[in-house]
Amino acid sequence: MVAHLDLAERSGLSTFLVGNAIAYAGLMPMDDAFSGHVSRRLKLLARDLGALGVPLPQDAKLIDAMPSASVLGVRYVVAGSALGGRVLARHHSRATDARVRRAGAFLGDESLGSYWSDLLKELNGDEDAGPQSDAVVSGAHRCFALFEAAFARALALETASIP
């Protein structure tokens, strides 16, 4: 859903950031399982949206919270987004608008790389791969659905704000 967004332009970047903010708000109940990572990422999103002059979505009910049983799959998806984030950051780096360039904290966050490595060590160290694998896959599917709903909502908000 984000492939068509131009992250070097204000409208594309703001929609991307709003979509992530909505999704991360749905992940907040899992913040402890992420060692504060979710709340830190939300702060980066708020900073970037502020640089663009776009308010952070305030309605916590924009999307349902992720169930705690999905935590491993959610952690896998979020940590695994590090590579995609680097690709998106390169697109963002082409921005010519100074406000858009300043709104790069979320995309420039390098903490996902080490988080991914730590998660892989944790998953690979578990002898009981069968049930855990099922939980990871199920949680990952739920997480992707949460992000899909969040970006659909962000796109709807963007469309509603066009004069």
Residues 150 and 27 sit within 8 Å (Cβ to Cβ): no
CB 73: neighbour CB atoms within 10 A? 22
| 143 Cβ contact partners less than 8 Å away, ≥ 6 residues apart | 27, 66, 70, 73, 74, 76, 77, 78
CA angle in degrees (0–180, nearest 5) for 80-72-30: 100
pLDDT (tens digit, 0 to 9) for every residue of the chain, 163 residues total? 788 899 999 999 999 999 999 999 989 888 888 888 889 999 999 999 999 999 888 765 666 777 777 888 888 898 888 878 888 999 999 999 999 999 999 999 988 777 788 788 877 766 555 556 788 888 999 999 999 999 999 998 877 665 4
